[in-house]
Structure 1
Amino acid sequence: MARPDCIPPTGDPLVGRVVRLDVTRPEDVEGLFPVYSDPVVYTQGYAMALPPASPAELQPLVKNAIGARQPDGTGRTAYTIRLVEDSVLGAAGTIVGTSSLGDVDVQREHVHLGWTMYGSRWWGSAVNPESKLLLLAHAFETCGFGRVKLQTDVINARSRAAIRGLGATFEGITRRDLRRADGTWRDSAVYSILVDDWPAIRAALQARLSRSSAQAGV
């Protein structure tokens, strides 16, 4: 089936059974604060920023994320991730994380799925696979991208394992790529998923979510 002409992320809500992703708004700061201030997150290789001490300290970061989306949808679209309904994972509406589609290049059909953070309480749950399923489906099926890049710090073993678990292809290391919060330079491990890879990856993610629902008795 021919894909449509490539378009930037639309900004529409992305809704699944477990989570929904909405474009980040200023009022999300209070709900995002427990995620960004979770000390466990910063022991796993996420060191691009220091944990905020208060919602007020987090506000400029959220403001920058919101402002990175251009009026035409290019730039970076940041999403706030919430639980859809009450469950063992928490109450409906609870903010569990954030992720983005950025570095949009519609001519080359490239987009970067990144800037992802979840509170440690939801690690290993259905939150990440369903979030990735929704974001990748939007990128490939709605927007018509041909390549989605994912990357992480080379020292972040947990994130690298999660990206490999998606079925993404390792492309290599970008050396001295980004400055960490402590002033050292990060090497980035770069992965990609192509539109030709998507059907198999989509099926694998759907199977993971089905198993997760069965184990949870949903």
Structure 2
Amino acid sequence: MPAQRPAPRVIEGSIIHLSSLADDDFPALFRAIGHPEVFQGGYGGGPASLPATEAEFIDFARNCYDRAANNVYGVWLNNGTMIGTSTLGDFDETRERAHIGWTAYSPSVWGTGVNPETKLLMLDEAFDAGFGRVKLQADALNSRSRAAIAKLGARFEGVVRRDQLRADGTWRDAAVYSVIVDEWPAVRAGLEARVAAFAG
């Protein structure tokens, strides 16, 4: 079937669920990710772009997340606590390409089953919608995010130099990874095993 942008919907997992990010979610998202250590790794343009107040974060969020073109999700623990955001976007239906990115979580859930299940649900959404390649990337200097992407089972493709302008005026290199549809069954099995270990 031809690739098609998935209709935004609530996606249920065993640890978390994803729902379309709404303006009303921005205060809770600020409480979750409005921390220096989140932006230190390059999120949102890097440390210089960290909003100091909730009001500043709301302005930042309205400009940062392109919800018209992309599926921007709030990530919620199943107890109702918002703990982050991630996006499935950059849809190229003709080439069957999509991109999972713009991901940030509360430091309180780093190293848990949250990221594996978020990516499991989003990759499943992309491949079910007919996409054949999903890109993931991180600031080349962000070793923590790069390790997390590699642990998902994504394959490292290389570094795109001088790829994005940071908020402080410097340029970042992007470390690019991908999962293609042929690899998805093995990657999915690995992610399901990791999630089950945390959920159990």
Distance in 2, matches of 1:69 and 1:51, equals 20
Tell me what 2:179 maps to: 193
Query: Per-residue deviation at 1:96?
Result: 0.3
Unmatched 5+ residue regions in structure 2?
A: none
Tell me what 2:93 maps to: 106
Match of 1:76 among 66, 70, 75: 70
Match for 1:69: what amino acid? R
Query: Per-residue deviation at 1:170?
Result: 0.9
Match for 2:89: what amino acid? G
TM-score by length of 1: 0.86
Q: Deviations over 1:49-99 (max 9, x none)?
A: 422111211112322355x233xxxx2221101111xxxxxxx21110000
The equivalences for 1:155-194 within 5 A come to: 155-194=141-180
Query: Per-residue deviation at 1:45?
Result: 4.5
Match of 1:118 among 99, 102, 105: 105
Aligned 8 A contact 2:140 2:174 in 1? yes
Unmatched 5+ residue regions in structure 1?
A: 85-91
Q: Deviations over 1:2-35 (max 9, x none)?
A: xx32110210111101111111100001100123
Q: Deviations over 1:87-146 (max 9, x none)?
A: xxxxx21110000011111111100100000011000111111100000000002x1100
**Could you say if the C-alpha distance between residues 5 and 25 of structure 1 is closer, same or farther in structure 2, counting changes exceeding 3 Å?**
same
Match of 2:13 among 16, 21, 26: 16
Q: Deviations over 1:142-174 (max 9, x none)?
A: x11000000110000000001110111111111
Q: Rg larger in 1 or in 2?
A: 1
TM-score by length of 2: 0.94
RMSD: 1.4
Matched, 1:58 2:57: yes
Match of 2:137 among 135, 138, 151: 151
Q: Percentage identity across aligned positions? A: 47
Matched, 1:139 2:137: no
Match for 2:150: what amino acid? R
Report how many aligned residue pairs link the two structures.
198
Aligned 8 A contact 1:23 1:79 in 2? yes
Matched, 1:213 2:199: yes
Distance in 2, matches of 1:150 and 1:199, equals 18
